[in-house]
Structure 1
Amino acid sequence: MSKIVVGLSGGVDSSVAAATLHHQGHEVIGLTLWLMKGKGQCCSEGMVDAAQLCEELGVPHHIVDSRDTFQANIVDYLVEGYQAGVTPLPCSQCNRTVKFGPMLDYARRELGAEAIATGHYARVRFNETTQRYELLRAVDRNKDQSYFLYDLTQEMLGSLHFPLGEQTKAETRQMAEQFGLHTAAKPESQDLCLIEHHGSMGQFLEKYLAPKPGDIVDTQGRILGRHTGVHNYTIGQRKGLGVAAAYPLYVVALDVGRNQVIVGDRASVHYPDCTVHRVNWVSAAPPTEPLSVTVQIRYRSTAVPATLVPLSAASETEGARVQLVFAEPQFGVTPGQAAVWYDGDRVLGGGIIEPLPVQARVDAALAQASAPT
């Protein structure tokens, strides 16, 4: 059996991951990253629960102060993105730059361990033919978190254990009760820790961005109402616009330069394709020819068929770009969010959806508005 460092948030999932490995006979060491001050599953409350779990299991527990790293890589990244008129997805970046990378470094440097584990619902396997580690969807599709893990490296995958990947959330709860863990009945945490910490993304942004009122206009430039700041809106948003119209309105584009929120009908927010940058090929070598894949453009969306077209030389660096041409136009393709592509259960890769120039987005909206959906 091996020495495994388990990332502990204080929730039931990471608790069961640690308990499972401990009962299998591995030498388990708990590790909690201190990301933010105050209330939250990953902060003060979570650290107490993680420490109590390690006491129950009789294993060591380490806390690493990662607040500066989290501030620079996640908080600043979010604020800059919203200021620029995109809707950033922090989770995949957090997994690579704040969690898995630093955890693995700490495990090797300070604890003499070559393996780490978390309570994520995903799977890893080694492909003997390609000689690559592959990231797979979890067995429980309702809890599958592979979408957030596309940005991991081969080095990270080779050192990772996901003890919950082959089971359902209900089975995890049952195991927590069987193990007698105090976290067995702990409520489910938010998908985004910042929302759990601050109450909402709007309340988080209020701490960093002042209100900047401007006009809400339609795709013809006609003023329909006022907004509180473009950072409070996202592509495809319908609720909270405060504009009356004969038909439902959706956010089509965010014009930071003119401080305008541009809206249109639902058909205006369907897109036949998108360009993705900062691409990472997690399980496969980058292709040189177009590739048929299925794609998720948000965490809770269904994977849809698409053709992936490489736009840069075959590379595994963050400079790689691809175009995704959807089999059918997709609603609310949002700049700053992740597009993740799959071959069945295998995560091939992913990246960040690029913003279109405002006029190009408006032109696309006008074209879609006149076409059947």
Structure 2
Amino acid sequence: MKRVVVGLSGGVDSSTAAAILHNQSYEVIGLTLWLMKGKGQCCSEGMVDAAYICEQLGIPHHVVDIREVFQTNIVDYLVTGYSTGVTPLPCSQCNKTVKFGPMVRYARETLDSEKIATGHYARIRYNENSGRHELLRAADRNKDQSYFLYDLSQDLLAASIFPLGELQKSDTRRIASEYGLKTADKPESQDLCLVESNGSMRAFLDKYLAPKKGEIVDANGKVLGQHDGVHHYTIGQRKGLGVSAPEPLYVIALDAINNKVIVGDRTKATQPECNVERVNWVSMAEPSAPIKAEVQIRYRSQPVPVTIIPLENSRVRVVFDEPQFSITPGQAAVWYDGEKVLGGGIIERFDG
């Protein structure tokens, strides 16, 4: 019997993934990662629901305390980023360093399993010609999470199973109901667990970063208003600026060193290109020449055509066919060939 370790958050997606594999005669072991204290789908409430699901399915349930790993790789990473004027994307980092990496190690070293599974909406396909595991979009494009998985290594992809990859979300709910799972009607969790457990990103950051009053200025340095911390702002932000002008203003830069929020009209928040660092090539080897692709610069954005130009030190330059609004340092840029994730990385701070 094939053994698989299923990551259980206590939500309907991971619960259904476990039930599907159990029904396919896998030897399923449930594994819940204890990330942080407090309420939220991934913490105390989620652990209770995950334990209940394992009891329903008649499978073992393991809980691994990785709060220190989460604190270092996610909480500290976020706080440091926001304090320096970037808007970090924690989810891709969390998937690689906090979830998939520790899960695979625990599965191999403690549970004698080479395979893990999660409730992510994405697909994996092995390409015999290239010898690579390819990461593909989910069949349900509205739930597709491949954007957050671009940083997974070939080893992690080879070890992973995504039972929901070919399903629509409605199918997942239906299957959960058919199996009588406790979580079948559980509400959707927010994409970011820290927001869910703290109420808002602002509330989370305010626990770690003290208010620091400074100036809101235009591109010429004219003072338009005051702010209480650059960490409360992000590139492209329009609402909540607290300044008036004859035309809509957007945050176009964050100067953490001088504690200034710089605003301008929409054209000044639009860029023709950006550099991307910490690049991971997923479904293809790193190219030696520019390639054409489509890129997403945020989770819910539509993919747009670009040219990807390889640079040194795991970096690329992304040149957009048409300039894009609100390219945000710290967020992920992920490039695709149709449904296939080619690679991705973190958007660098703009020069000048």
- The reply to whether TM is greater than 0.5 is yes
Give, in angstroms, the shift of residue 256 of structure 1.
1.1
Question: Is it true that 1:127 corresponds to 2:127 in the alignment?
Answer: yes
Identity of aligned pairs, percent? 68
For 1:338 and 1:216, how far apart are their aligned partners in 2?
A: 26
> Which residue matches 1:280?
280
For 2:195 and 2:44, how far apart are their aligned partners in 1?
A: 15
Give, in angstroms, the shift of residue 150 of structure 1.
0.3
Question: Is it true that 1:356 corresponds to 2:338 in the alignment?
Answer: no
For 2:325 and 2:193, how far apart are their aligned partners in 1?
A: 26
1:292-311 aligned at under 5 Å gives the runs: 292-311=292-311
For 1:107 and 1:34, how far apart are their aligned partners in 2?
A: 16
> Which residue matches 2:263?
263
Secondary structure of 2:166's counterpart equals coil
For 1:256 and 1:56, how far apart are their aligned partners in 2?
A: 51
Secondary structure of 1:105's counterpart equals helix
String of CA shifts for 1:218-238, please: whole Å, max 9, x gaps. Answer: 111110000110011000000
One of 311, 319, 333 as aligned partner of 2:327: 333
Give, in angstroms, the shift of residue 111 of structure 1.
0.3
> Which residue matches 2:141?
141
Question: Is it true that 1:57 corresponds to 2:57 in the alignment?
Answer: yes
Question: Is it true that 1:72 corresponds to 2:66 in the alignment?
Answer: no
Count of residues in Structure 1 that have an aligned counterpart in Structure 2: 352
> Which residue matches 1:322?
316
For 1:38 and 1:252, how far apart are their aligned partners in 2?
A: 35
> Which residue matches 2:45?
45
String of CA shifts for 1:134-173, please: whole Å, max 9, x gaps. Answer: 0000000000000000000000111110000001001100
For 1:146 and 1:224, how far apart are their aligned partners in 2?
A: 40
Secondary structure of 1:111's counterpart equals coil
For 1:107 and 1:209, how far apart are their aligned partners in 2?
A: 37
Q: Which amino acid aligns with 1:23?
A: N
Give, in angstroms, the shift of residue 282 of structure 1.
1.3
For 2:59 and 2:282, how far apart are their aligned partners in 1?
A: 32
String of CA shifts for 1:164-195, please: whole Å, max 9, x gaps. Answer: 00010011000010010010000000000000
For 2:58 and 2:258, how far apart are their aligned partners in 1?
A: 59
For 1:84 and 1:323, how far apart are their aligned partners in 2?
A: 22
Question: Is it true that 1:99 corresponds to 2:99 in the alignment?
Answer: yes
For 1:57 and 1:331, how far apart are their aligned partners in 2?
A: 48
For 1:160 and 1:47, how far apart are their aligned partners in 2?
A: 22
Give, in angstroms, the shift of residue 62 of structure 1.
0.2
Give, in angstroms, the shift of residue 51 of structure 1.
0.1
> Which residue matches 1:108?
108
Q: Which amino acid aligns with 1:325?
A: V
Contact kept, 8 Å, 2:84 with 2:257, in 1: the verdict is no
String of CA shifts for 1:225-277, please: whole Å, max 9, x gaps. Answer: 00110011000000110111111110000011211100001111111000000
Secondary structure of 2:190's counterpart equals coil
Runs of 4+ with deviation above 6 angstroms: none
Secondary structure of 1:294's counterpart equals strand
Give 5+ residue unaligned stretches, structure 2. none
Q: Which amino acid aligns with 1:28?
A: V
Q: Which amino acid aligns with 2:269?
A: V
For 2:269 and 2:100, how far apart are their aligned partners in 1?
A: 35
Q: Which amino acid aligns with 1:336?
A: G
For 1:42 and 1:66, how far apart are their aligned partners in 2?
A: 12
Question: Is it true that 1:254 corresponds to 2:254 in the alignment?
Answer: yes
Contact kept, 8 Å, 2:330 with 2:347, in 1: the verdict is yes
Secondary structure of 1:163's counterpart equals coil
Contact kept, 8 Å, 2:4 with 2:29, in 1: the verdict is yes
For 1:36 and 1:256, how far apart are their aligned partners in 2?
A: 29
For 1:193 and 1:256, how far apart are their aligned partners in 2?
A: 26
For 2:207 and 2:12, how far apart are their aligned partners in 1?
A: 30
Contact kept, 8 Å, 2:3 with 2:28, in 1: the verdict is yes
Secondary structure of 1:197's counterpart equals helix
String of CA shifts for 1:313-354, please: whole Å, max 9, x gaps. Answer: xxxxxx400000000000100000000000110001100000
For 1:82 and 1:352, how far apart are their aligned partners in 2?
A: 14
For 1:129 and 1:344, how far apart are their aligned partners in 2?
A: 19
For 2:345 and 2:279, how far apart are their aligned partners in 1?
A: 4
For 1:48 and 1:67, how far apart are their aligned partners in 2?
A: 17
Computed over aligned residues only, the root mean square deviation of the Cα atoms, in angstroms, reads 0.6
Give 5+ residue unaligned stretches, structure 1. 313-318, 361-373
One of 335, 339, 343 as aligned partner of 1:345: 339
String of CA shifts for 1:86-139, please: whole Å, max 9, x gaps. Answer: 000000000000000000000000000000000000000100110110000000
Q: Which amino acid aligns with 1:71?
A: Q
Question: Is it true that 1:179 corresponds to 2:179 in the alignment?
Answer: yes
Q: Which amino acid aligns with 1:298?
A: R
For 1:41 and 1:91, how far apart are their aligned partners in 2?
A: 15
